[in-house]
Structure 1
C-alpha cells in the first residue's frame, strides 16, 4: 500500500504542521507515505521535513497553487500510488479533476480542516462542493465542530468520519526549558503571554493585542508566526503604543521550549477547525485561554478558559484572574495537561492507517 499526501504547500498552518509531524511516524510504522506539494517553496516546515529524510517529496513548481496547469502535472503521480490523501483547497479540486481526466484508479481521501471558508458563503460553490466532495472515498473531519459544519454545507455526512487531530506529546515532554525570561529580553517580574499561529484572517491576534490595554505594563505578548496580516498587526501595535510589549517572533522551531517559559497561552481565532496551538499549550502544562468558537471550544471547554470572540476586555479579565490566583492557575494548568493526553498523535495516525487499509483491501 502506497499513500501520497497532497497539499498546496508547506507554509505555516495547522494542516501543514500536521503533515510535518505525521510523515516521519508513518515511516516508523512501516507505511509508505510520501508528499506532493503544488508549490514547493522552501518554507521552514519544508526545510524541517527534508532534513528528516523520511519520505519522498514531490513539487509541481513554484507557481500559484490556483493555476489550473496543476491538474495536468498531477496526473503522472496518481498512477504511482494506491491512495491520495488531500488537504485544503484548491488541491482538493485539482486532484479530483486530474483523476477524472486520467481515468486513474487511485482512491481519494480528503481531510476537512476548517469549520468555515469563503466557498461556504457562496451558493455556486455550495453546488460545486457537493460534486467534488462526492469524488472522495472518505472525508475525514478533524473535530465534531468541523463535521457539523460540513454536513450543513453539503447536506450529507455519509462519507464523513471524525478523527481528532493530535500532537506529538513525546516531543513536548522532551522539550527543554532551556530559555529563560532574561534570554527573551524580559525582566523576571514580567508576565509572558503567547499566541502561536499564522497572521491570517482566520486568526484574531488583534483582540489579543488589544487586551494589553487592560493589563499592567509588565504583561508582554509574544506573537509566533508570519503571514499576510503581519503589517496590519504591527500597525495596530504602533497605534496602541504597545511597541515595547508586543514582540513578533517570526517562525520558530523551538516553540515547545518557549511554551515552557511563558505564563499563559492564548488562542484567539475567528474560526478554528481544531486548535493545535491550544493542545500544544495544554501539553506544556500551561493554562490556555481561547475564543469560544466551534472546533476550538470543543478542545478547550472544561479544561482551559473560554472568552467571547473579539472581547479584548474579557480576555484581559480572564488573564488577570488566572495570574492573580495561584491555586486557580495551577488547577487550570493541570486540567489542560490532562486534556492534552486525549490528543496523542499516535492515536490519530493509527486511525488513519486503519482507514487506509480498509479501503486498500477493497481495491
Structure 2
C-alpha cells in the first residue's frame, strides 16, 4: 500500500501539524506514506518532519499555492500511489482537476478540516464544488457537524462521507517538562499568571478578544501568543493601543508547544469557529484549565470539560480567568475534566481508522 498525502505547505496550522504527526505513525504500521507540498518553503514544521526521516517529501517549488501550474505538477504523482489523501484548499481542487485531466487510477481521499469556509457560504460555488468533491472516493469529515455542512453544500450521497475525528499525540504532551517563566522571556516572573493562546493569526481566531480581556485583569496576568499569520500586526496594534506592550508576548511559530502549555497557568482559544481544534485538545491534555469561545467546533469538544464564554465577550472571559485563578478547587476540577476529555482524542485511534479506510478503499473495485 502506497499512500501520498498532499497539502498546500507546512507553514502553520492544525491540519499541517496533524500531517507531520501522523506520517511517522504510518511508517510504524509498515505503510509507505509520503508527502507532497504545493509550496516547499522551509518552515519549522517542515524541518521537524525532515528530522524524523519517516517518509519522502516532495515539493512543487516555493511559488504561490494558488498558481494553476501546480495542477500539472501534481499529475505525475497521481500515477505513482495507490491512494492520495488531500488536505485543505486549493490542494483539494487542484488534485481533483489533475485527476480529471490525467485519468490516473489512484483513489482520492479528502479531509475537510473546517466547519466553515467561504465556498460553503456562497451558493455560486456549489455546482463546481460538487464536481470537485465527486472526484474523491471518500470524504473524511472531522466532526458530525462538518459532515452536515458538506452534505448541505454538495448534495453528495451520505455514504460518501465518513466521520473520523482528528487526534493528538497525548504522550508528547504528558512527557513535556515546563520552562521557568524567565526562560520564555526575561521579564516574566514566578508570580505572574500566564495565559497562553496557540493559534495562527487569521480572522477566525479573534486574538483581539483575549487582548481586551487583559485590560480587565490585574497587572501580574500576562498573555503569551504562539503562532504567526497575516493578522499578527493587527494584534500588535491592539496591544499598543491598549498600552499592554509589557504584558503581551508574541513568540511566533514554535516547535516546543507542549513545554509552553505546561509552563502556562490558563490556556485560552477565542476563535469564531473551528473544525476540530487540535489546539483545544492539546490545551485540555496539558494539565491546565482550558477556556474557549462558545462556537461551532469548540463547544462540541469543550462543553462539560473546559469552560466556554460567549464569543467576543472579553469581560466574561476575564471573569472566568479570575475565577480559575482565585478558586483552587474550581481550577483542579476543571483540569481533571479537561484531561479526561482529551483522552478521547488519541492520534493513534485516528491513524488506525485512516488505515482501515485505506484498506477498505483498496478492496473496492
TM-score (norm 1): 0.98
Q: Counterpart of 2:133?
A: 133
**2:216/2:315 contact within 8 Å kept:** yes
Partner Cα separation in structure 1 for residue 144 and residue 326 of structure 2: 34
The answer to whether the 8 A contact 1:193-1:222 is kept is yes
1:254 aligned to which of 246, 253, 256: 256
Aligned to 1:155: 155
Q: Distance in 2 between matches of 1:311 and 1:145?
A: 24
Q: What SS is found at the alignment partner of 1:260?
A: helix
Check the 8 A contact 1:166/1:348 in 2, yes or no. yes
- Gaps of at least 5 residues in structure 1 are none
Name 2:212's counterpart in structure 1: 210
1:274-298: CA deviation from partner (whole Å, max 9, x where unpaired):
1111111111111110011111111
1:150 and 1:40 mapped to 2: Cα distance? 29
Aligned counterparts of 1:202 and 1:284: Cα–Cα separation in 2: 24
Secondary structure at 1:80 match in 2: coil
Offset at residue 337 of structure 1 (A)? 0.5
For 1:47-196, list aligned pairs within 5 A.
Answer: 47-156=47-156, 157-177=158-178, 179-184=179-184, 185=186, 186-196=188-198
> Equivalences for 1:306-325 in 2 at 5 Å?
306-325=308-327
Find the partner of 1:241 among 243, 257, 264.
Answer: 243
Q: 1:10 maps to which residue?
A: 10
What is the alpha-carbon distance in structure 2 between the residues aligned to residue 121 and residue 155 of structure 1? 15
Q: Render the CA deviation track for 1:41-83: whole Å, top value 9, x for unaligned.
A: 1111001111111000110111111111111111111110000
Q: Is the 8 A contact 2:99 2:135 kept in 1?
A: no
SS at match of 2:238: helix
8 Å contact 1:7–1:87 — kept in the other structure? yes
**1:182 CA displacement:** 2.9
8 Å CA contact 1:144–1:295 kept in 2: the answer is no
Task: For 2:344 and 2:121, locate their aligned partners in 1 and report how far apart those are by CA, in whole Å.
Answer: 33
> Which of 353, 356, 361 is matched with 1:354 structurally?
356
Greater alpha carbon shift after TM alignment, 182-191 vs 248-257:
182-191
Separation in 2, partners of 1:331, 1:362: 48
State the shift of 1:149 in Å. Answer: 2.1
SS in 2 for 1:114: coil
Distance of 1:296 and 1:327 partners within structure 2: 24
Q: Report the number of matched residues.
A: 362
Q: Which among 292, 307, 326 is matched to residue 305 of structure 1? A: 307
How far the C-alpha of 1:148 sits from its partner, in A, is 2.3
SS in 2 for 1:252: coil
CA distance in structure 2 between the aligned counterparts of 1:238 and 1:220, rounded to whole angstroms: 15
Partner Cα separation in structure 1 for residue 151 and residue 304 of structure 2: 26
SS in 2 for 1:182: helix
Structure 2: how far apart are the matches of 1:357 and 1:337?
32
Q: CA deviation at 1:129?
A: 1.0
Mean Cα deviation higher: 305-314 or 138-147: 138-147
* Map of 1:334 onto structure 2: 336
Q: Following the alignment from structure 2 to structure 1, what is the Cα–Cα distance between the partners of residues 143 and 268?
A: 20
Distance 2:299 2:181 in 1: 30
Matched residue, 2:40: 40
1:152, CA displacement in angstroms? 2.3
Q: Distance in 2 between matches of 1:121 and 1:257?
A: 38
